[in-house]
Structure 1
Amino acid sequence: MTVEIETPPGGRQQKVQAAEVGVGILKALAELAPATSLTRLAEHVGMPASKVHRYLQALIASGFAEQDSVTHHYGLGREALYVGLAAVGHLDVLKITAPHLATLRDELNETCFLAVWGNKGPTVVYVEPSSGAVTLVTHIGSVLPLLGSSTGLVFHTFLNARETAELHDQESVGLTAMQRQEIEQHVRDIRSTGVHQIHGLLMAGVNAVSSPVFTVGNKLAGVITMVGSASVFTDTVQADAAQRLRATAQVISARMGADAGLFGA
């Protein structure tokens, strides 16, 4: 990354400082994801907007950042996502899950994805999009609601409450007593069956099924989800998909060292 810095040319120290600033801006883009204005970004890193802008131009040129042509907001670019995926790639859950999701997608032609728990909540790290005329794609790096998505509710069910407490408290604000009871019922169903089916919870007209993936010690490693349009992902199709997804999650979990038969037939 080449950036014009304010300090006079003087060798290695300036280059190191420039790299540190660039990394700091990349981290800020991640913290303010999915997109942010130049003003907000500059405030976040405590730097003049003009200086941040110069670094952003270099990051955009190298593919590590991008600017929305409509909103003019900035976000992480494709190269940054590749680096992030390379870091996540060492996780067994991604390596083991990917081929199984590809097979499932090929069999049912519905979009499948894997989410892991990130610093902002359920985060999509791998997607196998359907090849139909209408493709429902959850983007890599997307952060899903904890209580407002099928994927999130599975995390809510099996993760330690301390890990989800902050996000749970944020999303619980304004919920009615009935809505809280519905969430509790979802948790009971997920815990007993190992799969969750939902109709239009996150997005109207989009149905989803999710199932947990466990690792050694029966610890939650991630959640696999299949999504489809309600027009084709009908009750019958979704019920079949739920059973296949659950079976796939069990195969992945066993491969990762979890106990067999975590859920009854």
Structure 2
Amino acid sequence: MKERAGIQSVEVGFALLEALGDAAGPLMLRDLAAAAGMSAAKAHRYLVSFQRLRLVVQDPASTRYDLGPAALQLGLASLSRLDAVKLARERITGLMEQVGHTLALAVWGNHGPTIVHWEESPSAVTVNLRLGDVMPLLSSATGRCFAAYASKEAIAPLLRDELARVQKQGRTDVPASMAQVRAMLDDVRQRGGARVVDVLLPGIVGFCVPVFDADGHVALGLVALGPTGTFDAAWDGAVHGPLREAAAQLSADLGWRG
């Protein structure tokens, strides 16, 4: 398809705004120009116009440049229109084709991590899960992921009740004490996701990785499920690697800068 014509000067000038957005703080003219790949004189001409539009401000004392109030307003307007689940649903089919296994989306509901979308692989084995199901915190990858990243206030009562049931049942395949729970959640955070094998469902491997919003809160969990015989259960393997990359891209598109 033929590329449509645009206004080159707008595209060139945007490099300055992009450099300010990527920077840890305000920049001197020479550093900003270098980051945008242009001369200081050329950058200054663009910055004059950007200041008039309130996209950029210059501190009179330090002479450093930073993003202005108009840039903030545009960013907030964009974030307010983002729907994490809608954005993920638009991409999940392509991701499912890439990894070759069933994928799902989960959000934090009134009773815990809840499945809100399901994309079943053509070669999937039947699993006894449905839309609206609330996933356990200790025995599912989804639950472990949310337990590691959701607020402690939301997690604490559910975790306490589930831990009591586990202890009563005498289970040994899931954490049975708070010390074991803390160790498990630390491992989830260190790896950037959760995995269970033959725990929630016999013969099934599950991964769940978090997607964060602009405030760093977990917006949803991206879940992959498959049979142990064909599912790559390795960390950063053929399933977890693409899953984690997709979650990172979704988080970035939602405004997370972690």
Q: TM-score, normalised by structure 2?
A: 0.61
Which residue does the alignment assign to 2:52?
A: none
Counterpart of 1:107, as a letter, is Q
User: In structure 1, what is the Cα distance between the partners aligned to 2:154 and 2:233?
Assistant: 33
Work out which of the residue numbers 195, 205, 208 in structure 1 matches 2:206: 208
Q: Write the mapping of 1:26-105 to structure 2, written as runs, cut at 5 A.
A: 92-105=83-96
Q: 1:205 touches 1:230 (CA, 8 Å); kept in 2?
A: yes
Count of aligned positions: 171
Whole-angstrom distance in 1 between the partners of 2:212 and 2:234: 27
Identity of aligned residues (%): 29
CA distance in 1, matches of 2:237, 2:188: 14
- CA–CA distance in structure 2, aligned partners of residues 92 and 246 of structure 1: 19
Partner of 1:147: 138
Equivalent AA in structure 1 for residue 130 of structure 2: H
Offset from partner CA, 1:13-62 (integer Å, 9 cap, x none) = xxxxxxxxxxxxxxxxxxxxxxxxxxxxxxxxxxxxxxxxxxxxxxxxxx
- CA offset at residue 171 of structure 1? 0.1
Are the aligned partners of 1:153 and 1:187 in contact in 2 as well (CA < 8 Å)?
A: yes
1:111–1:136 CA contact under 8 A, matched in 2? no
Check if 1:257 corresponds to 2:255: yes
Which residue type is aligned with residue 239 of structure 2?
A
The structure with the largest alpha-carbon Rg is: 2
Q: 1:132 aligns with which of 123, 128, 136?
A: 123
1:158 to 145, 149, 157: 149
- Partners of 1:143 and 1:164 in 2: how far apart? 13
Which gives a bigger RCO, structure 1 or 2 (Cα 8 Å, sep 6+)?
A: 2
Provide, for residues 177-224 of structure 1, a one-character-per-residue CA deviation record: whole Å limited to 9, x for no partner. 963344322211211221222211211111011100100111111111
Task: State the partner residue of 2:222.
Answer: 224
The amino acid of 1:215's aligned partner reads: D
Shift in CA distance, 96/169, structure 1 to aligned 2, threshold 3 Å: same
| Separation of aligned partners in 2, 1:147 and 1:172 | 8
Contact kept in structure 1, 2:192 and 2:210, CA below 8 Å:
yes
1: CA distance between counterparts of 2:82 and 2:138?
26
CA distance in 2, matches of 1:134, 1:232: 11
Q: What is the RMSD computed on CA atoms of the aligned residues? A: 2.2
Cα deviation 1:52-76 (Å, max 9, x = unaligned):
xxxxxxxxxxxxxxxxxxxxxxxxx
C-alpha separation in 1, matches of 2:244 and 2:235: 14
- State the AA in 1 paired with 2:181: I
CA distance, structure 2, for counterparts of residue 204 and residue 237 of structure 1: 20
Asked whether the 8 Å contact 2:82–2:254 carries over to 1, the reply is no
| Counterparts of 1:188 and 1:122, CA distance in 2 | 19
- Distance in structure 2 (CA, Å) of the matches to 1:100 and 1:223: 14
More displaced stretch, 201-210 vs 236-245 = 236-245
TM-score calculated relative to the size of structure 1: 0.59
Gap runs ≥5 in structure 1: 1-89
**What SS class does the counterpart of residue 227 from structure 1 fall into?**
strand
- Cα distance in 1 for residues equivalent to 2:214 and 2:236: 29
Name 1:107's counterpart in structure 2: 98
For 2:245 and 2:125, the matched residues in 1 are separated by 26
Contact 2:233 2:240 in 1 (8 A): no
